[in-house]
Amino acid sequence: MATSQPPLRFTSHKNFVYRLVFATLTGRTVHISQIRSSSTNPGLAPHEISFLRLLEAVTNGSQMEISYTGTVLVYKPGLITGSSSGAGASSGGVIKHELPAGCSRGVSYYLLPLCLLAPFSKAPVKVLFTGPGVITSSTPAGDMSVDSVRTAILPLYNQFGIWNNIELRVLRRSNPGPSGKGGGGEVQLVFGHQVRLPKTIHLMNPGRIKRIRGVAYSVGVSGSNNARMIETARGILNPLSPDTYVFSDVSPAPLVPAPEKIKPLGKKKIGLGFGLSLVAESSTGCLFSADVASPPEGGQAPEDIGKQCAYQLLEVVSKGGCVTPAAAPIMLGLMTMGTEDVGRLQVGRDVIADESVIQLARDLSKFGAPGWGLRDAAGENEQGDVIVSVVGRGIGNVGRKVA
């Protein structure tokens, strides 16, 4: 008779999303306590509860128990079914997920972990993010924009043999609303390539930057802001990389319901602003991204945004390695779930020393993954990069019967 394993115990809200993702992939129950227990606003935040609802929609059989104060969560994962029989699946197999108006995190907060689950799903994952809380730009909380997810994160799945029928559509753009909350955008993710096991990778040559691409966007404001951001950014980047092209996108501000006593069906514009997303691609296919958007309270010139984003991109490239801090959890997570072989990845010292990456290593060891092997990168390397060796667990996709 099989006995159930005791739940893995974690504390605090840090790395909350990836703990739930790896619990779902490994099938282990987790018990998370002391969630903002010492805060003036204790318990789970609106964006975390919304992510739990998203998990419930793309899985079948998941159970969640939240304490009265919201500071303790017990999560028992189910099978990742994708959009076939999800709780929110509508006609056409698309899960419509609404984000609350008080959401202060960008939609990439949901997209990155969802893309980590999608390759191991039983059926394709099709999710439409809508509602008054969808923010497509980068946010003050540190989330990247949807453009960077599309151009700098999704292409990395090619390294693992996951490349077919993956699409991220921005149907309606939005910057953060007043106080950085809410946006009213609309984004659709289609992830239709499911695999039995991700391939083992050996990515140890960062190469040299050969091209820079980007998207400048203005939402509900003058399109001349785009031209000013692009001109400033190109002035910094062109002497370093002549192959620099930035696309300009101007869109109207989204409308969200704002009922009043005299106008019960009234609406208001929200999410006005502008921003810039830049991605540098190296000769070996490594991608480095940078994101800057105008602050919700305004008062920053487009030239400052363009200059800040260009310098941020140069800073990310200067950290060395083959991945950025934002992409490290995705790459290392897929390497851990892959075939039972040793994969190698070269990362910069500043990336491996990042607090979130260190916490990820601790959490993965709790889920039963072997420890990482670290050694200095040999060869003509002036930055002192580190080679991370990861042994795959061979968890794979239990819902998919053929490779």
Confirm whether 236 is domain-assigned.
yes
Whether pTM > 0.75 for this model: the answer is yes
Number of Cα atoms under 13 Å in the Cβ half of residue 346: 20
Give the residue-averaged pLDDT of 82-93.
Answer: 61
pLDDT at 286: 93
pLDDT at 403: 42
Lowest-pLDDT range of 3-7, 109-113, 248-252, 350-354? 3-7
pLDDT at 1: 35
Cβ atoms within 10 Å, residue 298: 9
Q: How confident is the model at residue 318 (pLDDT cuts 50, 70, 90)?
A: very high
Q: Which domain holds residue 214?
A: 209-319
Cβ atoms within 10 Å, residue 179: 11
Confirm whether 401 is domain-assigned.
no
The 10s digit of each residue's pLDDT in 357-398 is 999 999 999 998 888 899 888 765 556 789 999 998 887 666
What is the average pLDDT value for the chain, to the nearest integer? 89
Decide if pLDDT at 402 tops 70.
no
Decide if pLDDT at 84 tops 90.
no
The 10s digit of each residue's pLDDT in 265-312 is 778 888 899 999 999 999 999 999 999 999 988 889 999 999 999 999
Decide if pLDDT at 87 tops 80.
no
> What are the structure tokens assigned to 117, written together?
């689950």
pLDDT at 112: 95
pLDDT at 379: 64
Confirm whether 150 is domain-assigned.
no
Confirm whether 153 is domain-assigned.
no
CA 356 to chain centroid: 13
The 10s digit of each residue's pLDDT in 180-216 is 888 889 999 999 888 888 999 999 888 899 999 999 9
> What are the structure tokens assigned to 367, written together?
């889920």
Confirm whether 18 is domain-assigned.
no
3-class SS of residue 111: helix
Confirm whether 227 is domain-assigned.
yes
Instruction: Return the sign of the alpha-carbon dihedral for residues 363, 401, 158, 113.
Output: negative
Q: ∠ CA 390-391-396 to the nearest 5 degrees?
A: 115
Confirm whether 122 is domain-assigned.
no
DSSP 222: -
pLDDT at 92: 61
> What are the structure tokens assigned to 170, written together?
């921005």
Confirm whether 302 is domain-assigned.
yes
Number of domains in the chain: 1
CA 115 to chain centroid: 8
The 10s digit of each residue's pLDDT in 160-190 is 989 889 999 999 999 998 888 888 899 999 9
> Can you give the CATH number for the domain in which 218 is found?
3.30.360.20
The 10s digit of each residue's pLDDT in 223-250 is 999 999 999 999 999 999 989 999 999 9
